[in-house]
Chains A and B, each alone.
Chain A
């Protein structure tokens, strides 16, 4: 695979073997302090990511969904090392960041593609230079790096003879996003984080890029973390889905399992808010009222209790723990209703929502 691309920048080796998850995030926390006043004294903090744990297996696609301010982008930035982790562990293929793994080594294995395709490219560099830049900084000879860049351009569907010398403003949004993907691939990563990478594209172009992502994943043996607010796209591309709300994971599970049974009331509401696509059967009642609360002072207990129609006293006072749904260990949700001992009157009920119920 490496030789085929004509570069000697090797992908970081698979050390842990196939059973070792590529990423283990354990109780990740990141608060952004708010400074106000003349002396910049702290006035609380945005609890962007609070006690978030999950794993990403080798070769899978993990989809992260949630509304704005739920911490999905901050989680992504923590995974790439673009934001510092306040507390918690990030383990990449068996090596803990900060212990046996440096940021430099992490960056050798993880790349990111952002939503704004224009802002993430240098307007004064041709796209060939942009793609070759990273490998050159890593010590690949210029000639080889440029040859690899042209190979990658062809691979993402941009004929190098037409496009290599162009500047970002000479490309359309879809083409620029292809360049961003090629640039990420040039570093031969094992994990690519796609943060709303197709959200700004027109629907017809979005489908092209999704097809491309599927092809590249198979060809390069990649693992994706795919962040989007579009549930249809996430369902299509992901193996597992993680639902976040106000900086916390409320539910995580395999796509089929989650699509069949939305165990957490927030997941159910989020899915129900999708437009119906059936003109005779339009949505009549909004599944949730109001906007998501401010993450600066999130509600106590279960953070969703202020908008949840099943909320009871226990929800406001106690934080629910993640529990397996229907005894399926891969599908976890954090809701008191799922815990028979929580004291919630509906606790242990067979489940709240099933598909399209």
Chain B
């Protein structure tokens, strides 16, 4: 039975300061319990900002956030003080790209995990240490008893990332946010961490929002993929739908640029130009200046959102029809 865990609607994030940046624009997203969703996008597409907004980590003075976010019945936008600290770590937690920066260098791994456990569950020091040890074993850190007393600098990159996963999952959050956790790792270590996350997700029954720019990683980890460009989701669907039937020209360009099937020596179908600076809120399709299928309508108004199937959407005037030879009859709905 499907059970919606997270519902984001109309999320807007604007940073002000020397330069105004409209980082996230009218983003809507829903996530089920036990589901793994990947947000796929390039640098500056707003994927990390979305995660940080969910954890309320953005600097309050310089950020204007609008819209609503509901997670497990909690109104995230309205949280403050003690309730916010309870929410962070217990309901949602996050792992980052660079574990060396995210872990505290002056405390041992065991102390850091135990601190989180004691803070959220009120366990005694000894109990919390037991939880920490159990977590290190679950993330397959060899000789966990000794590693408990290690400082972050004494561990290798892959080991540190495992330790951070242990820390994030110590309080059994409902939702794990993963911001490019494998990007800094070697390929052989990356796949180990991905498989570990997949396993722990099943074991704990939690949901994951995984952020990456690598389509291959997205396919390995996720049930569904949302492709993000210029602060909004341009296409969403199951991993198979995105890979086999990409409809947005940007998704198609990204797939071509992955070079997985590219013939050697052939010319790549590169997307020309670079992403927009987002100094103003987009009033037309943000991808239009780089799009090979651009029409006058694309430059006049925001693109309509087509929903060719359940939990599938494409924000493009061409979204109605599939690009592949297998023509499907899409369910046409009005824009959101």
Q: Does A214 contact B (CB under 8 A)?
A: yes
Q: Which chain A residues in 284-307 approach chain B with CB under 8 Å?
A: 284-292
Interface residue A273 (Cβ < 8 Å from any Cβ of B): yes
| A205 contacts across to B, CB distance below 8 A | 270, 274
B219 located at the interface, meaning its Cβ lies under 8 Å from any Cβ of chain A in the complex: yes
B231 lies within 8 A of chain A by Cβ: no
Pick the residue among B158, B191, B270 that contacts A275 (CB under 8 A).
B191
Q: Is the CB of A236 within 8 A of B220?
A: no
Q: In the complex where A205-B274, A279-B219, A279-B240 touch, is A236 in contact with B262 (Cβ < 8 A)?
A: yes
In the complex, A203 Cα to B45 Cα: how many Å? Answer: 13
Q: Which residues of A contact B260 (CB under 8 A)?
A: 232, 277
Given A68-B186, A277-B216, are A283 and B195 neighbors across the interface (CB < 8 Å)? yes
User: Is A269 part of the binding interface, using a Cβ–Cβ cutoff of 8 Å?
Assistant: yes
**Closest Cβ of chain B: how far from A72's Cβ, in Å?**
12
Query: Binary interface profile of B, 125-157, with partner A (CB < 8 Å = 1, else 0)?
Result: 000000000000000001000000000000011
In the bound complex, what is the Cα–Cα distance between A84 and B86 (angstroms)? 56
Interface check A161, CB cutoff 8 A: no
Interchain CB contact under 8 A, B271 and A207: yes
Chain A CB within 8 A of B159 CB: yes
Query: B189 on the interface (CB 8 Å rule)?
Result: yes
B residues less than 8 Å from A285 (CB atoms):
195
Does A210 reach chain B (CB closer than 8 Å)? yes
Task: Please give the residue numbers on chain A whose beta carbons come within 8 Å of chain B beta carbons, in ascending order.
Answer: 67-68, 172, 174-175, 202-208, 210-211, 214, 229, 231-233, 235-237, 255, 269-270, 273-280, 282-292
Which of B24-32, B250-258, B278-286 binds A? Answer: B250-258
Q: Is the Cβ of A274 less than 8 Å from the Cβ of B257? A: no
Of A206, A208, A211, A279, the contact of B239 (CB 8 Å cutoff):
A279
Q: Is A282 touching B257 in the complex (CB atoms < 8 A)?
A: no
Contacts of A284 in B (CB 8 A): 195
The list of the 4 closest CB pairs from A to B, nearest first, reads: A275-B216, A207-B270, A204-B271, A202-B42
Other-chain residue from A229, A231, A283, A292 in contact with B220 (beta carbon distance below 8 A): A283
Contact with A along B238-273 (1 / 0, CB 8 A): 111001000000000110111110101101111110
Contact B191 A283 (CB under 8 A): yes
Looking at the assembled complex, report how far the CB atom of A280 sits from the nearest CB atom of chain B, in whole angstroms: 7
Q: Can you name 5 A-B pairs with beta carbons within 8 Å?
A: A208-B270, A232-B262, A236-B268, A279-B243, A282-B219
**B262 near A203 (CB under 8 angstroms)?**
no
Of A174, A204, A214, most buried by chain B (CB within 10 Å of CB) is: A204
A276 B271 Cβ-Cβ under 8 A: no
Q: Given A207-B268, A210-B268, A288-B188, answer yes or no on A276-B42 (Cβ-Cβ < 8 Å).
A: no
Docked-complex contact B191 and A229, CB < 8 angstroms: no
Contact flag A202-B270 (CB < 8 Å), given A214-B265, A232-B258, A279-B219: no
Q: Whose C-beta in chain A lies nearest to the C-beta of B196?
A: A286
